[in-house]
Structure formats: structure tokens, C-alpha cells
A = this chain, B = another copy of it.
Amino acid sequence: MNTPQNLKGFRDLLPKQMLIRNKVMSVLKEVFERYGFEPLQTPTLEYADVLLGKYGEEAEKLMYIFDDPGGRKVGLNYDLTVPTARVMSQYQNIPKPFKRYQIQSAYRAENTQKGRYRQFMQCDFDVLGSSSPLSDAEILAVISDVFTKLNLPNFIIKVNSRQILFSLMEKAGIPETMRFPTLQSVDKLDKKPEEEVREELFKKGLSKTQISLLFQCLKDAEPNENLTQIIELAQGLGAKNIMFDPRMVRGLDYYTGMIVETVVTEPKIGSVTGGGRYDTLIQSLGGPEMKAVGASIGMDRVCDVIEELNLWEEMKETATQVLVTIFSPETLSASLDVTTFLRENGINTDIYQDMESKLEKQLKYANQKGIPYVVIIGEDEVKENVVMLKNFQDGTQQKVQKEELLSLLK
């Protein structure tokens, strides 16, 4: 019989990965709520009608659509924007603007490749029902605070605007029908040499003059009034490392104003946030008419890189700070007592489960788990009313009073 496996394209998150993820998640929640964003959760399953006809044929091929046991046509959520559009229709009495964040899985049957999973953590924060540049600025301020608090301070928040891109193309004499194809090529400028992109545009039918003019305009571009105001407001809200980048396009074509992308440069993680203003999307997805701006943080990518590069050195294999061992039936109650004392004082404490194991075996267990400290209470320690604290990192051990453990372990 074969060992049962997790489904292809999906993954289990074992304790070390979960500890990183839980910490990232708690930083995100803390920052979102600090800026007045509120949590929302929608179900994993939606009526298929809610999901279909929104994102085009290609996307629908990746959707998990099926009949539930009651014969209803249903599907797993493909993103969090469509469910949010539904929520905004269904609960029209939610006061606007609604600053909401939503951290939950989305499901897409993509071709699997390293770092891409069919179930991934979507992490959206948006201001729904506001056209104010201050809302755009809040999105930038949140991004800045998130990466600062995640201890990834070398980030650049690239901003641009669809209006700027369109007016660039107008100046370069590029006809309206060619705008999206042109943007698609410009978008590749951070990955490909300029020469190749020029070639590609030529093949798409732009003239050499149009291409030259386009690149000249990209070079001379400056933020328009709206974007200048957004950047100033964001800086007023404490946002750092904002950079105007006229070559930044963002893939999705539903943005209507500011667009934003964050890259972490050192360590070189690449793009970790995308977003922008989308004043017509909620309605086109079946929601009410509602101007909105928001962004999404690539949480899986951030967590994976923190793990791979071991960026949080203080992160242990385990959340457990100390293992209390059991020496003998006579010392058991002393071990229980210290365990309870430590737990009551906020120290994550494990006690060795088998009450009749050799000390060696108990130490080996702590070592395997990566628990940094072990407490040993033998008969001598009970008599002297002390405990032995063993530090696995430097191999030292010392006899201390129970109360002293708190300062030594914290």
C-alpha cells in the first residue's frame, strides 16, 4: 500500500513554517487595524454564478467549479475581490468608506512550479467607497509600515498612474487600440533589456518614431497632480521609500488611477505587493457602484523567503522555550510544579510526556525538537529546592532558584 500523499499542487505547513506564517499574519493584522482597517471573512465556497463571467475564459479554466451534494453549482473562491464585491451588494448598510482587510486562502488550478501553489494565502486590504487621494495614500502608508515591521526594511514602493501612462502614449502618438499591448511590453522593462522591448513593440506594429517618442516620454515623465498629492499625503502619514516609476505598469487592466508595486531589494525577494485604484471593478464584478483602492501582499512569497534565507534568526524550530524533564516518580510533583509555574508566567513549556524514560532520551527529544533549554530536577535539586537549567546552545548548565528561571528564559 502506498503512503497517502498531499494533493499535487497543495502543501502541508509544518510547525516551523506555521510559526513564521503566524508571526507574519499577526504583524499584518496589527498594522491593518492600526490604520483603521477591519477584518472580513467570506466562505471558501460560493455559488458558481457569483464566480463565473467575471475574469474571462482563461481564469475560469483554473477555477474549481463542481456540484455540491445538494446539486447546487458551486466553486472555491478564486480571489477575495469577487466575494468582497458580493458582500458589498449583500450588506448595503455597511458604513462607507469600508476599510477592510481579508487574509484567507484562494484556489487556482495553475500549473505547479516552485513557490506557486494551487491554494495560496491572499492578503488584501482596501478602502471601498472612497475616491479620496488620502485613501490611496493610506494604502502606501500601510505597505511601508508592514515591511518595516516585518524587518524587511530594504523595500521600494514603486508608484505610477494609469493616467500618466495614457497621457504618455497619447504624446507618443500611439493609437488607443495599441495602448494595452504597448503597456504589456513596457511592463517587461524590469526583466528584459530595453532593446528587446523596443523590438517587441516594433513587431506589434508601432513605428520607430512612436517607439523613440514613447521612450523619451517615459524618461521625461513626472508624477501628475493627483499622484503628487498622494505621495505627499503618504509621506505625511509616515510612509517611506516611495519612488515614482513611469515604467511600472502592473499586469491587470482594471486599474483606473494610481498603481503600486513593492519590491524588496535586499535580500532580493522581488515583488511582494501589488495594487492600485480600481473605480469601476466592484460594479463590473456584480457589486454596487463603488470607487475603491487597495493592495494585496504576497504572503506566501514573504513567508517562504523568510524561511529559505533564515531571515529571522531569532525564529526557532519550535515555539517551545523549555522542556521540563522527569527524573523519577519521587521528583514528578516537583517537575509538575515548575512546569505550571513557568506556564503561568508566560513561558512556553513542554514537560516530557513519558514519566519513566531515561534522562538521556528526554534530552535527545529536546534536541531533536530544537527546544533551547531543559530543566532537570533530580533528588538533590528537590532537597536543595533548586532546579538545574541546561542551555543547549552553549552547553552550559547551572543550578538556580525556580523564580530565577523567569529572567533567564525570557
Interface residues of A (CB under 8 A from B): 3-8, 10-15, 18-19, 21-22, 26, 29, 33-36, 38-47, 49-50, 61-64, 66-70, 72, 74, 76, 86-87, 89-91, 94-95, 97, 99-100, 105, 107, 109, 118-119, 127, 130, 132-135, 138, 145, 233, 236-238, 286, 318-320, 323, 333, 336-337, 339-340, 343-344, 346-351, 353-355, 365, 368-369
Complex contacts, A44 vs chain B, CB 8 Å: 10, 44, 76, 105, 107, 119
Q: A69-B109, A132-B354, A318-B38 are in contact. Are A43 and B333 (CB under 8 A)?
A: no
Question: Please, how many angstroms separate the alpha-carbon atoms of A354 and B233 in the complex?
Answer: 13
Inter-chain contact A333/B15, CB cutoff 8 Å: no
Q: Is there contact, CB below 8 Å, between A18 and B40?
A: yes
8 residue pairs bridging A and B, Cβ less than 8 Å apart: A4-B47, A4-B90, A12-B87, A15-B38, A19-B38, A70-B109, A130-B353, A134-B354
Closest to A340 in B: B238
Given contacts A49-B4, A119-B45, A368-B95, contact A237 B340 (CB under 8 A): yes
Contacts of A36 in B (CB 8 A): 320, 323, 348-351
- Name A's interface SS: mixed
Whether B40 lies near A15 (C-beta < 8 A) is yes
A13 and B41 form a contact (CB under 8 A): yes
Kindly list chain B residues whose C-beta atoms are within 8 Å of the C-beta of A350.
Answer: 35-36, 99
B89 A4 Cβ-Cβ under 8 A:
yes
Number of copies of this protein chain within its complex: 2
A13-B41, A44-B76, A350-B99 are contacts. A320–B33 as well, Cβ < 8 Å? yes
Q: Closest B-chain residue to A317, C-beta based? A: B38
Q: Among A4, A18, A118, A132, find the residue whose CB has the most chain B CB atoms closer than 10 A.
A: A4
| Interchain CB contact under 8 A, B64 and A40 | no
Question: Is B353 touching A100 in the complex (CB atoms < 8 A)?
Answer: no
Complex CA distance for A18 and B76, rounded to whole angstroms: 21
Query: Which residues of chain B are within 8 angstroms of A72 by Cβ–Cβ distance?
Result: 7-8
CB-nearest residue of chain B to A64: B68
A237–B129 CA distance with the chains assembled, in angstroms: 52
- Measured between beta carbons, the chain B residues less than 8 angstroms from A70 are 8, 109
By the criterion CB–CB under 8 Å, are A7 and B63 in contact? no
Q: Which residues of B contact A233 (CB under 8 A)?
A: 336
